């Protein structure tokens, strides 16, 4: 596939300080929430990644004004368009977040089949059933869904699965609905707390955040606000995985250990050391990881977005590890690529069995989704010899200057510009 390629000479230890920025999965719904008011909404510390650029393009296509100064994005004005352009919806799954916000602010929204990483079917039933419960009319076209509502009315909504996006969409739909809405079985990811913090600062009445039951009392209007998102725990975990594989000591500046428990715990063992100090985490490893058995799940369990980066680290562990993926039904595309490096991984149902004693070497690799691509970078950093990774466009969706990040820590990684 055309495009840039990462070239990595593996085997270098990592030392230094990595500065974390706002979490992609907090910033995207927060930017979507901005259309709930015409007043200026500012989200600071945004990562410089293509998903944020794509979300800005969606907002501009809806007719609102978006000003970006470095990492600070300010959105103002009311949407004049309620249809998410197909080419933009296909670029990114996060265009789904516009459903709740646009419906609440304009009474209608039309979304073409959203894009994003190919990691399973990713249906929208939980989103749409919830919007229908609030009184929206849902119409399906060949490749679009249209939601319309005169007035949304609060009600109890039971989520059959704690879907992150559905929780966020339904929150944004409920904040100006008539009466009270309870989201029962809601997701509890830290990125949702950032969205709640923004909505409350805008004047929404929300309680129960961090618990499986969110209560929203509808208000008439929302105002502008300015909020910083939670730091990116997946970027932090990805740097930890690379440090575990390469050996070394890295300070993760801005890491918030209060939301990183599940990310950190599989890294802890005889060959690692971790200390928290003044808004940072320092993680040290001698590069000899112990085997681990990990299962992904909704927060506060081990996050599915860490599955591929951590599996790359398990490929270097001294024995058999397992990785059970319970959130997405098709999130093992990176396994075949790791196999090109010598990894011995057997997939049985939703569980990967990783024999770390196989020994890893550089190879020509191809990323086909965001976190799988990050996993390949982690594996290549630890492997003897040279690796090349194509499909960098996927990785750039969620990691800001990943080659600069790891080069600054001592890795030998460069970006070869593609045609």
Question: Which residues are the active-site residues?
Answer: 117
Q: Taking contact as CB under 6 A, which single stretch among the options 23-31, 76-84, 193-201, 204-212 is the one that binds ligand EPZ?
A: 23-31
Instruction: State the DSSP H helix or E strand holding residue 145, giving kind and residue range, or none if neither.
Output: strand 144-148
CB of 154 to ligand EPZ, least distance (A): 20
**Total residues in contact with ligand EPZ, by rule CB under 6 A:** 26
CB atoms within 10 A of CB 339: 14
The backbone torsions φ and ψ at residue 239, rounded to the nearest 5 degrees and listed phi first, read -65, -40
Interface with ligand EPZ in residues 357-396 (CB under 6 A): 370-371
- Does 399 bind ligand EPZ (CB under 6 A)? Our answer is no
Residues 2, 70, 123, 140: which binds ligand EPZ (CB under 6 A)? 123
In this structure, are strands 280-285 and 272-277 parallel, antiparallel, or unpaired?
A: antiparallel
Residue 193 or 320 with smaller CB distance to ligand EPZ: 193
Each residue 320-359 as x (binds ligand EPZ by CB under 6 A) or -, in order, gives -------xx-------------------------------
Q: What is the 3-state secondary structure (H, E, C) of 351-411?
A: EEEEEHHHCCECCEEECCCHHHHHHHHHHHHHCECEEEEECHHHHCCCCCCHHHHHHCCCC
Full strand arrangement of the beta sheet holding 156-158: 156-158, 180-184, 213-217, 205-207
CB of 166 to ligand EPZ, least distance (A): 5
- Does 94 bind ligand EPZ (CB under 6 A)? Our answer is yes
Residue 94 or 392 with smaller CB distance to ligand EPZ: 94
Full strand arrangement of the beta sheet holding 248-253: 14-19, 248-253, 280-285, 272-277
Residue 115 or 165 with smaller CB distance to ligand EPZ: 165
Q: Locate the DSSP E strands across 169-258.
A: 180-184, 205-207, 213-217, 225-227, 248-253
- Does 165 bind ligand EPZ (CB under 6 A)? Our answer is yes
Contact 213, 183 (CB under 8 A): yes
- Does 183 bind ligand EPZ (CB under 6 A)? Our answer is no
Query: Which residue, judged by CB position, is nearest to ligand EPZ in the bound state?
Result: 165
Residue 187 or 383 with smaller CB distance to ligand EPZ: 187
Site residues, ligand EPZ (CB under 6 A): 24-25, 28, 93-94, 117, 120-127, 161, 163-166, 304-305, 327-328, 370-371, 398
């Amino acid at each position: 596939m055309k495009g840039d390629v990462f070239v990595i000479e593996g085997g270098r230890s990592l030392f230094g300080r990595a500065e974390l920025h706002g979490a992609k999965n907090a910033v995207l719904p927060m930017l979507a929430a901005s259309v709930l008011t015409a007043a200026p909404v500012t989200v600071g510390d945004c990562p410089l990644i293509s998903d944020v650029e794509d979300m800005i393009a969606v907002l501009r296509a809806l007719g609102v004004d978006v000003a970006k100064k470095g990492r600070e994005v300010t959105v103002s004005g009311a949407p004049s368009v309620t249809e998410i352009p197909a080419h933009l919806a296909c670029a990114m799954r996060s265009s789904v977040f516009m459903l709740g916000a646009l419906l609440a602010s304009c009474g209608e929204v039309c979304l073409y089949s959203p894009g994003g990483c190919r990691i399973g079917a990713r249906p929208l039933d939980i989103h749409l059933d919830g919007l229908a419960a609030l009184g929206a009319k849902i119409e399906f076209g060949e490749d679009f869904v249209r939601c319309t509502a005169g007035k949304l009315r609060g009600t109890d909504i039971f989520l059959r699965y704690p879907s992150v996006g559905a929780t966020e969409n339904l929150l944004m739909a409920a904040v100006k609905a008539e009466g009270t809405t309870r989201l029962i079985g809601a997701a509890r990811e830290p990125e949702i707390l950032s969205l709640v913090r923004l909505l409350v600062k805008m004047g929404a009445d929300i309680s129960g955040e961090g618990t499986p039951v969110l209560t929203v009392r509808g208000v008439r209007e929302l105002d502008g606000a300015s909020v910083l998102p939670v730091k990116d725990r997946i970027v932090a975990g990805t740097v930890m995985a690379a440090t575990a594989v390469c050996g070394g000591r890295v300070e993760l500046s801005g890491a918030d250990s209060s939301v990183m428990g599940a990310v950190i715990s599989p890294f802890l063992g005889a060959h690692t050391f971790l200390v928290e100090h003044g808004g940072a985490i320092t993680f040290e490893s001698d590069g000899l990881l112990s085997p681990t058995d990990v299962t992904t799940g909704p927060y506060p369990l081990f996050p599915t977005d860490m599955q591929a980066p951590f599996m790359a680290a398990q490929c270097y562990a001294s024995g058999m590890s397992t990785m059970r993926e319970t959130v997405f039904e098709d999130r093992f595309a990176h396994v075949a690529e790791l196999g090109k490096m010598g990894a011995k991984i057997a997939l049985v149902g939703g569980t990967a069995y990783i024999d770390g004693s196989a020994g890893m070497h550089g190879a020509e690799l191809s990323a086909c989704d965001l976190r799988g691509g990050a996993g390949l970078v982690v594996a290549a950093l630890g492997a003897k010899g040279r690796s090349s990774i194509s499909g960098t466009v996927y990785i750039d969706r969620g990691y800001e200057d990943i080659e600069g990040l790891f080069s600054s820590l001592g890795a030998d990684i460069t970006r070869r510009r593609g045609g």
